[in-house]
Structure 1
Amino acid sequence: MSQTVDRALSILPLLAQGPADLGQVAERLGVHKSTALRLLRTLHAHGLVHRQQDQRYRLGARLFALAQEAVESLDVREIAHPHLVRLGERTGHTVHLAVREEGEVLYIDKVESRYPVRMYSRIGKPVAITVAAVAKLLLADLPEPERRSFAERLDYPAYTPRSTPDAAAFLKELATVRAQGWATDLGGHEESINCVAAPIRGADGRVVAAMSVSAPNVVIGTEELLALLPLVRRTAEAVSREYSGAPPAA
Structure 2
Amino acid sequence: MSKTVAKAVHVLETLASAPKTVAELARELGVHGSTALRMLQPLADGGLITRGPDGRYRLGFRLVELGQQVLDEMDLRAVARPHLTSLADATRLTVHLAQLVDDQIVYVDKIEGAASIRTWSRIGRAVPLHTAAASKVILAALPADHRDRLLSAHAFTRYTERTITGEAEFRAHLVEVARLGYATDQAEFERLVHCIGVGIPDVTGQLLAAVSLTTVRADTDLPELGCLLGQVRDTATAIAVALGHQAS
The answer to whether the superposition gives a TM-score over 0.5 is yes
1:3/1:165 Cα in 2 relative to 1: closer, same or farther (>3 Å)?
closer
| 1:75-103 C-alpha deviation (Å, 9 max, x unpaired) | 00000001111100000010000111222
Provide the C-alpha distance between the structure 2 equivalents of 1:38 and 1:219, rounded to a whole number of angstroms. 59
Provide the C-alpha distance between the structure 2 equivalents of 1:180 and 1:222, rounded to a whole number of angstroms. 14
User: Is the partner of 1:97 in helix, strand or coil?
Assistant: strand
Provide the C-alpha distance between the structure 2 equivalents of 1:13 and 1:39, rounded to a whole number of angstroms. 13
1:32/1:99 Cα in 2 relative to 1: closer, same or farther (>3 Å)?
same
Structure 1: gaps of 5 or more residues = none
Amino acid at match of 2:20: A
Question: Would you say 1:230 and 2:230 are equivalent positions?
Answer: yes
Provide the C-alpha distance between the structure 1 equivalents of 2:179 and 2:22, rounded to a whole number of angstroms. 52
User: Is the partner of 2:196 in helix, strand or coil?
Assistant: strand
| Equivalent pairs, count | 247
1:87/1:219 Cα in 2 relative to 1: closer, same or farther (>3 Å)?
farther
Amino acid at match of 1:240: A
The residue number in structure 2 matching 1:211 is: 211
The residue number in structure 2 matching 1:91 is: 91
Shift in Å, 1:226 = 2.6
The residue number in structure 2 matching 1:124 is: 124
The residue number in structure 2 matching 1:81 is: 81
The residue number in structure 2 matching 1:173 is: 173
| 1:175-216 C-alpha deviation (Å, 9 max, x unpaired) | 222232211111111121100011111111101311100111
Provide the C-alpha distance between the structure 1 equivalents of 2:26 and 2:239, rounded to a whole number of angstroms. 47
Kindly report which structure 2 residues correspond to 1:134-145, keeping only aligned pairs within 5 A, or say none.
134-145=134-145
Structure 1 vs Structure 2: percent identity of aligned residues? 38
Do 1:196 and 1:225's aligned partners in 2 also have CA atoms closer than 8 Å?
yes
Provide the C-alpha distance between the structure 1 equivalents of 2:164 and 2:156, rounded to a whole number of angstroms. 7
1:16/1:141 Cα in 2 relative to 1: closer, same or farther (>3 Å)?
farther
Provide the C-alpha distance between the structure 2 equivalents of 1:182 and 1:132, rounded to a whole number of angstroms. 12
User: Is the partner of 1:185 in helix, strand or coil?
Assistant: strand
Provide the C-alpha distance between the structure 2 equivalents of 1:201 and 1:136, rounded to a whole number of angstroms. 14
**Aligned alpha-carbon RMSD (Å):** 1.9
